Amino acid sequence: MHLLSTAGRAVETLLAERSSARGLSPLHRSLLETLTDLGPHARTDLAAQVEAPEADALRVVDELVAQELAQVMVVHIGGRHQVVALTPAGTAALGAVQDDTASVQDELLASLTRGERTQLHYLLRRVCATAARGSRVRALP
């Protein structure tokens, strides 16, 4: 387990460095991914979706809006709600972050053959699925 933990920290460190260079934190990245996956979302529901404290999530939403990576629209359905949606610039920023993720993966797995990468992916999915069944850890997509 120590090896998995060490590998995970290395990945998180490299991703955080690259995201930070783009002015984005892991929470920024998570919100952009959530808006991409789920579409426009009520501002107050986003914190629950990314499993972050509401104050932190709302602060980051405000930062995404200030950077024009997201926009807030007011809708009147059963009351007044603020809905957050990605802008084209937000979609492009997420694409750049995903490119960074692929680059980090390629960097860390450079010494593995294609077959070894496939096998590692399969084994890690199994480990994560087992962990998700035994705890509150989310399963990999």
Q: Is the pLDDT of residue 2 over 60?
A: yes
| Residue 85: strand, helix, or coil | strand
Q: Is the pLDDT of residue 96 over 80?
A: yes
Whether 16 and 8 have beta carbons less than 8 Å apart is answered as no
Residue 138: the pLDDT is 55
pTM across the whole model: 0.76
Domain edges within the chain: 2-108
| Residue 46: strand, helix, or coil | helix
- The more confident residue out of 63 and 136 is 63
Whether 125 and 32 have beta carbons less than 8 Å apart is answered as no
pLDDT band at 37 (very low <50, low <70, confident <90, very high): very high
Q: Give the strands of the sheet with 80-86, arranged side by side.
A: 41-42, 80-86, 70-76
Helix (H) or strand (E) holding 6: helix 2-21
Q: Assess if CATH 1.10.10.10 describes domain 2-108.
A: yes
CA angle at 114 for the pair 112 and 120, rounded to the nearest 5° = 65
Q: Is the pLDDT of residue 77 over 90?
A: no
Residue 88: the pLDDT is 96
Mean pLDDT of all residues in 82-87:
92
Whether 99 and 108 have beta carbons less than 8 Å apart is answered as no
Residue 134: the pLDDT is 75
Question: For residue 52, what are its two tokens?
Answer: 């972050």
Looking at every residue in the chain, the average pLDDT score rounds to 88
Mean pLDDT of all residues in 89-105:
93
- The more confident residue out of 135 and 110 is 110
- 74 DSSP β-pair partners: 82
| Residue 70: strand, helix, or coil | strand
Question: For residue 53, what are its two tokens?
Answer: 């404290």
What is the C-alpha separation between 116 and 134, in angstroms, rounded? Answer: 27
